[in-house]
Structure 1
Amino acid sequence: MENGDIIISVIFLSQTVVGILGNSFLAYHYLMLYYVGCRLKFTDWILQHLIVANFLTLLCKGIPHTVSTFGLKSFLNDIGCKLTFYLHRIGRSVSIGSTCFLSVFQAITISLNASRWTQLKVKSPSYIASCVYMSWVLSFIVNIAFPMYMTARQDNRNISRLRVYDFCSTFHHDDVSDIISAVFLSIPDVMFMVLMLWSSSYMVCILYKHRQRMKHIHRSTFSFRSSAEFRATKTILLLVSTFVFFHTISCLLQINLALFHNPTSLWVKMASVVAACFPTVSPFLVISN
């Protein structure tokens, strides 16, 4: 094994272990709150869905790539490859959906009482809850065709329609079909990203106005609930900005991979490392805040 492969192996292993430990600690925290009968906030309920999505991403992406970088390439059969990639895509889709709904719900929560969102504040938990469940259903449906093109690793490079990755392979169709498939799979992600950026921008404006008012109004006139809401808002903004940063880099790497018939192992591993960054970092952002 070359030095570069050893470094990548250590990175994958560290990401997987740290990410699983962080998400496990957060899941254990919520289980203890359930056990003692504490009433959780609605944002905590959305975060629980994000934790499940993080587990899917880390288990289906981090562990196989970790095993692959240590030299064991053909350890998954056709069913294993299809299931691994399918569950990873579901986890990725639910992750962006949960982060988006977390941002939208918090934007509605801190909106001004005199605004047109007043009535929406009362009904928003039921609306957002339905949307979160629908994001799971949508993820299962949209990605259903994805595993159809996956197969176990085949090193026969003479097959022109075959793209060989680290531990699996995928059939390459004509360029037009690949572009149509990529656009279809990207539509939900684009919609979620637009909603996420819009709600985040709105929250930044609210925080700025709040800061301007704080210069003229004594702190004692603000309730603890109000300050707690703004602390939660800053945490969610941190989560959203982290997600957008890693997701943008991941998309650029995925586009790069799609342009090449047989991408190099380095590009494949770099894309996988970036894809696992948010599931690894996000639980610690929540814990620290």
Structure 2
Amino acid sequence: MDLCVTIKGVSFLLQTGMGILGNTVVLLAYAQIISVERKLLPVDMILCHLAFANLMLLLTRCVPQTMTVFGLPHLLNDGGCKVVIYAYRIGRALSVCITCMLSVFQAVTLAPAGPRLSDLKLMLPSLVIPTFAGLWFLNMAICIAAPFFSMAPRNGTVPAFTLNLGFCHVDFRDGLSYVINGVALSIRDFSFVALMLVSSSYILFLLHRHSRQVRNIRRSQGAGAETRAAKTVVTLVVLYVVFFGIDNVIWIYMLTVAKVSPVVADMRVFFSSFYAALSPYFIISSNKKVKAKLVCAVDQEQPSSVETKETKETKETKETKETNDK
């Protein structure tokens, strides 16, 4: 196998494996939290949904991409390509939308209470599920064109205006539909990124302006939790914007050429999926509830091994004592 292919395959394999593991751990941790508390805070509900969207993205894009790199062609037929590409587009869209939703909800939570804002703060928990539903319907409608242009790879040369994903082709057939699809997706993504940048900047402004007042007026654990959550949100937004910027620089380049090199497409996939693979580990390290569940799971394993060791030592001591008595 060629060295470049090996490096690319190992990179995709590590990214995919770490991303699936991290997001699965976050989802399992929140499942345990729900079983105990029966209710999640709005921020925790959004983080849980973000982990699900990222897991969906990794399973539908990085897994088949990794398998293709390692020489497993013809993974999907036309129908399979349509389903996988549609699911990937929705997962990727939900990742940016839910990250934006997270920053907006946290900005409203930290904003100074006013006559109208107080009512909105009280309504936040009840708005989470309807917002999820709205984002799902919005992105399912925007991404509906993807299945019509998706197909299994054909033998021969790749036609112009075709995104060669390796395991599937997205053939737009003409330049107009190719550009319209790219512009529509870019407008959606840039709109949500702009909104998350505005809300995150507002969060930073509030944290800078009211940090002392918050410490003096709200000495409870809840205020500290809000501050930690705000810092987590801002970091996730910065993380997303960095990889989003790299992704879209490559995407704009791809829109300007008729035939896209597979290497360029692979680079875009790698950087666009990096946020999905990295964000769960930041959630684990910064979220006390998730971290506590993982620590409890580890602690439950350790006593059993310690108990087995103590039982074995007690048995050996008892046998030695009986031997000495004889």
Q: Whose Rg is larger? A: 2
The aligned residue for residue 71 of structure 2 is 71
Mapping for residues 36-55 of structure 1, pairs under 5 Å: 36-55=36-55
The aligned residue for residue 298 of structure 2 is none
Sort the Cα spacing of 1:150 and 1:224 in 2 relative to 1 into closer, same or farther, 3 A. Answer: same
Larger relative helix fraction: 2
Q: Which amino acid aligns with 1:175?
A: G
Matches of 2:65 and 2:180 in 1, distance apart? Answer: 28
**8 Å contact from structure 1 (residues 154, 168) kept in 2:** no
TM-score by length of 1: 0.92
Matches of 1:103 and 1:221 in 2, distance apart? Answer: 22
TM-score by length of 2: 0.82
The aligned residue for residue 271 of structure 2 is 274
The aligned residue for residue 178 of structure 2 is 178
Matches of 2:166 and 2:274 in 1, distance apart? Answer: 19
CA deviation after TM superposition for structure 1 residue 161, in Å: 5.9
Q: Which amino acid aligns with 1:39?
A: K
The aligned residue for residue 138 of structure 1 is 138
**8 Å contact from structure 1 (residues 102, 236) kept in 2:** yes
The aligned residue for residue 29 of structure 1 is 29
The aligned residue for residue 203 of structure 2 is 203
**8 Å contact from structure 2 (residues 179, 255) kept in 1:** no
Mapping for residues 102-251 of structure 1, pairs under 5 Å: 102-114=102-114, 117-157=117-157, 159-160=159-160, 162-211=162-211, 213=212, 222-251=219-248
Q: Which moved more, 1:186-195 or 1:65-74?
A: 186-195
Sort the Cα spacing of 1:2 and 1:230 in 2 relative to 1 into closer, same or farther, 3 A. Answer: same
Per-residue CA distance 1:22-78 (angstroms, 9 max, x = gap): 111111111111222353211111112112111111001111110011012222211
**8 Å contact from structure 2 (residues 60, 87) kept in 1:** yes
Stretches of structure 1 lacking an aligned partner (at least 5 in a row): none
Matches of 2:129 and 2:281 in 1, distance apart? Answer: 24
Per-residue CA distance 1:157-212 (angstroms, 9 max, x = gap): 1745655441222224332332222222333323211221111010010011024x
* Among candidates 241, 250, 260, match of residue 257 of structure 2: 260
**8 Å contact from structure 1 (residues 12, 66) kept in 2:** yes
Sort the Cα spacing of 1:228 and 1:37 in 2 relative to 1 into closer, same or farther, 3 A. Answer: closer
Computed over aligned residues only, the root mean square deviation of the Cα atoms, in angstroms, reads 2.0
Aligned length: 286
Matches of 1:221 and 1:50 in 2, distance apart? Answer: 29
Q: Which amino acid aligns with 1:256?
A: Y
Q: Which amino acid aligns with 1:58?
A: L
Matches of 2:39 and 2:172 in 1, distance apart? Answer: 50
Give the SS at the match of 1:157.
coil
**8 Å contact from structure 1 (residues 12, 273) kept in 2:** yes
Q: Which moved more, 1:250-259 or 1:232-241?
A: 250-259
CA deviation after TM superposition for structure 1 residue 221, in Å: 6.1
